[in-house]
Structure formats: structure tokens, C-alpha cells
Amino acid sequence: MIIIGRGSVQQEECDVMGHMNVRHYVARAADALDWLMLEAGLPPSRQRLAVMDQHLRFLREMSPGTPFTILGGVIATGAERLRTVIEIRNSATDAPAATLVTDLGLWGAPLPELPGAEALVVAMPPHAGPRGLGFDPPPALPDRDAARAMGLNEGYRGAIRPHECDTDGVMRPDVIIARIWDGVPNLRNRGTGLGIKEEGMGSAALEYRVAQLRPLRAGQLLTVCSGLKALGEKTTTWTHLVHDGETGAVVAAAEAVGIAFDLKARKAVAIPAERRTALEALLVPGLGLSRAGRSGRVGPGISLHSARPFGISMQRMSGAGGGGSGVAPHPARPERAVAASRPCILRMRGSSGAARSSCGRGPLRSPRTAGWRSPCPPPTKAPAGPAAGQGGDTP
């Protein structure tokens, strides 16, 4: 990947948890993506691509003053969308702090020509990509009335402000995260009247997925309704639906995996019993953005099997409890000098989830039942990060 951004964490970019908030990762990534598109042949002075869908993973905290470097590349392309990957690294330690996989496109139009995109193609880093959350196109989502009938609770009600929009008058991608985060304390407060610092217990984000369904503009009214999708020993998975205030139609959606976080010890802890009891009452069966059994899809307008070297299937290599997505490096062959630097495409075959490698050396056996079996070398195991993610009190 190439360098597309540098900077350091500012105090105002940090939240009550004491580390950089999710919305500012998204904002910094948006700036970096403009540099990536410049290298691809689309300078922002000519046209900007919109963030349609984004997956984030948080590996390590970044506190105020932390220097960082942003690296980026292209994963896949198609007629309608371009998939990119970004890695934010702590410049002092050279350790990855976060990764963002982003689908870019134009509302109601095909992608423009990107003459430099092929030179930017990279393999998915082993520590990037979806783990506990899917990244397939979301199903039909409920409007505001239907969401309330399902048991989702409203955490935010407000409007988009002019300064939150870009030069084209469209809301920036970090604002959706800001609205969700703004409403979170309304979901977690159980009548104690205490804030996070007083309680000494927060929730740090491990993984996020945000899908924007239409462009939003200044003055538009918004509500955010949220429901608890899953509850673990230390983790919660929430679904957030953003609705148009006038029509009630869903305009954006997000899912987040968070972990209970002790502010004093700075580590993940088990969810306290009294909080677990309150959370169990908020569980909404069947809630979520991913279609069951279809996590191998990567989105509309993206070619996985193109003859051009752009295809990487984000096949989940995990069981029910999560795990990782990985890409096997293509075996080097003398007749194909480029093969060693190109990823082996993992091609999904039919509804059974069986897969074959693009190098033509046979099928891949199910990672759930037989472990990773491939005619190509196995992917490198993702490095284990600390138990706590980052991003503020994000359920």
C-alpha cells in the first residue's frame, strides 16, 4: 500500500473514553481517500466519489498526541463501485491501529475512468476485513414506524448542519457515526443519572459497519433507532437505523461490536451482572444488516471474477464465534512473474459456500469443518491486538 495520509491525534478528536473517536477515524480516512483517488487518476478538483459502505476494525488505542501514518490501496473494482482498503498505523511503533474497507461510488451513475487504479491493487492485509460483522449488501430495512414496532429505541433526534456537509452540499461520512455516538448514552442510561466517567465503565468499539443508502443534505431531519442484536460475555452487537425525519424512510444503517471497558484499568472486562440483566431486555430477535449464509458477497457492481487483477472475495474464515477473513497469496510460477505479487482469488461457488482458488489447483475445503485447506499457501494469521478497541462509548 502507498502512503496517503499523515498526522497526529488531536485532543478534540478524543472522547470521554480518552482515545480517538470513531468519527475522526472516518474523517481522517476520507481525507486520505482523496489522495488515493488522485493516484488513481481522479483528483478531487474534478470529481469526488461518495462513501457508500464502510467496514472498520480497531486493533489498538490511539491517545492524544499519537502520530500516525495512513496507507491505502485498491482491493476490487466494478462498473458501479470501487473497493479500497486503508490501514492507520502508529508512526512511533509501526503497529496497525485500525483498518477501513470502503466501497466508493457515485449516486445513480457508473464509476468514472480510473486510469491509475490497476497500479494501486493490493491484497487484503490479514488483520483487515470483516470478522464478527458481515459486509454483504444489506437486506430491506424497516422504516421508523416498523423499527419502533420491533422494539428499537430512539437515541438521537436532530438535523444535519451546514458545516457537516462537503463542498457539494452532501453530508460527510463521519457525520453518521457522530449521530449514532451522540445517541448512545440514551440507550445505556438506566436511570442512574451517572455518566461514563462517574460509573467508571464504558464500551470501546472493536468493529463497525456503516452503509449509506442515499445522499443526505444540510437541514435534513434525522432520527437514530437502535436495537441490541447479540450479547456475549464481554461484547455487545448493536444495530442502528438512521431515518429521514420527514418521511420515516431508512437512509443509513450501521452495526457495531463493542466491548465492556474498565476506564481505570484500561482493559476489557466481563459485562457486570446488573448491566447484563438490563441489556437482555433489549435484545431484538432477527435484527441485523447481513443476510444469513451470504457473507461471501462483496456488494453490487464489484467484479470478483474479472480477468483484470481486481478480485478478492472477502470470504469469512470463521465459525459462529467470529474469526477472520484472509487471502491466500498466489503461488509463484515462472511463467507468470506477476503471480507472486497478486492475490489468489477465492471464488464462491453456489449457495453451498464451496470455494475454488483462481489458480485452478482444486477446491478449498470448508474452514468451519476442516480448517484452511488450499492448494495455495495459507494466509498469515492476523496478529492479536489488545482486548480493547477504540471509538468511545459505542455499543
**pLDDT at residue 157, as a whole number:** 96
CB atoms within 10 A of CB 376: 19
> Model's pTM, two decimal places?
0.72
**Residue written as cell 499519537?**
66
Give residues with Cβ within 8 angstroms of 33, minimum separation 6.
4, 49, 51, 72, 84, 86, 102, 104
pLDDT at 82: 96
Collect the ranges in the chain with pLDDT lower than 70: 188-202, 265, 291-395
pLDDT of residue 339: 32
129 torsion bin: left (phi>0), alpha (psi -120 to 50), beta (else): left
Q: Cell 453451498, residue?
A: 352
Per the DSSP assignment, residues forming a β-bridge with 230 are: 237
Q: Please list, residue by residue across 335-371, b when 16 or more beta carbons sit within 10 angstroms of its beta carbon and e when fewer do.
A: eeeebeebbbbbbbeeeebebbbbbeeeebeebeeee
Task: Name the percent of the chain in helix, strand, coil, to the closest 5.
Answer: 20, 35, 50
- Nearest C-alpha neighbor of 242 from the set 174, 165, 164, 141: 141
Distance CA 97, CA 196 (A): 24
134-181 pLDDT, tens per residue? Answer: 888 888 999 999 999 998 999 999 999 999 999 888 999 999 999 988
Would you say how long the chain is, in residues?
Answer: 395
Q: Give pLDDT, residue 197.
A: 52
Over residues 221-279, the pLDDT tens digits come to 999 999 999 998 888 899 999 999 999 999 999 999 988 877 776 777 888 887 788 88
pLDDT in the model for residue 84: 97
Q: For strand 201-212 and strand 153-159, is the pairing parallel, antiparallel, or unpaired?
A: unpaired
